[in-house]
Structure 1
């Protein structure tokens, strides 16, 4: 089985994914890291040097590669991955794939991302938490219809990573 973690940046896909993979004795793949290794460039450099269209095309290609070639894997997607091309359709059509939306409230995302916005090119230019929350709100509005197509939804607000992993394991049984 491949477990695909979906959600907005800051929802915990990577940290939860790593712990979940360890608990299940699965491999863990962060799609952004996978893309960086295949392209030999950071995501920021791909956007800057080759543009978003190139990135989204490669993102879909590498997503399909991982879905085709992996077994017993937890895959953490980028926040926008489900929203482009046929990515969500391809995830949902695979028999051996379970998708889980890590749902996080906008205020919680604002608090989490304010601390690390310098590391995230998409939001690094935003100066106040108010601007950040407004930006997140617009994005979440655009992306929710994709995220909610997931097979399962788990709330991450006010939950420890361990508790979220436990809830996912229970959902998978």
Structure 2
């Protein structure tokens, strides 16, 4: 089996994924990193030179490729489950257990305000109010997809170890 981590940007998918990979002795694959290596471009460069539609097409192709693997922690991009048939592919994957790492809007704003430069979708937002509105709108639009995950884990007020332990216990109770 593999664990698929789903959630909005800044929800901790990559950070929790690292800790979880250690705990379960699985390989961690961040879909964005995987995609960048395959394309030999950063996500920002892909968005600038080829556009979001191209990005979403290759993202789907690489997701389907990785869903065939086992014993991995797969950390998805925040928008990945919401495009094309990605969420259906995740839910129908034979060897995958999806977990939505749910964070509140204030926590996401706090985490993302200093990372805007590295995040193409929010790099243009100048104030916390704009960021809050943007995140709120996106979460509303994406919640339909995120909430289809096999399990939801709330991350607010918890440290990395506690969240990773909760994910590990959820996975182990289902598959061990």
TM-score (structure 2 length as normaliser): 0.96
Q: Give runs of aligned pairs for residues 13-162 of structure 1, distance below 5 A.
A: 13-68=13-68, 70-162=69-161
1:128-166, Cα deviation, whole Å (9 max, x unpaired): 111100000010010000000000000011110000001
1:90-129, Cα deviation, whole Å (9 max, x unpaired): 0100121000000001111011111221221211111111
Aligned-pair Cα RMSD in Å: 0.7
For structure 1, list consecutive stretches of 5 or more residues without a partner in the other structure: none
Q: Following the alignment from structure 2 to structure 1, what is the Cα–Cα distance between the partners of residues 61 and 83?
A: 12
Equivalent residue pairs, number:
172
Q: Following the alignment from structure 1 to structure 2, what is the Cα–Cα distance between the partners of residues 67 and 121?
A: 26
1:45-94, Cα deviation, whole Å (9 max, x unpaired): 111111111111100000000111x2100000000000001100001001
Per the TM alignment, residue 171 of structure 1 is displaced from its structure 2 partner at its CA by 1.0
List structure 1 segments (4+ residues) > 3 angstroms apart after TM superposition.
none
Name 2:168's counterpart in structure 1. Answer: 169
SS of residue in 2 equivalent to 1:38: helix
Q: Following the alignment from structure 1 to structure 2, what is the Cα–Cα distance between the partners of residues 35 and 120?
A: 15
1:17-38, Cα deviation, whole Å (9 max, x unpaired): 0110111000000000000000
Q: Following the alignment from structure 1 to structure 2, what is the Cα–Cα distance between the partners of residues 155 and 115?
A: 22
Q: Following the alignment from structure 2 to structure 1, what is the Cα–Cα distance between the partners of residues 169 and 27?
A: 19
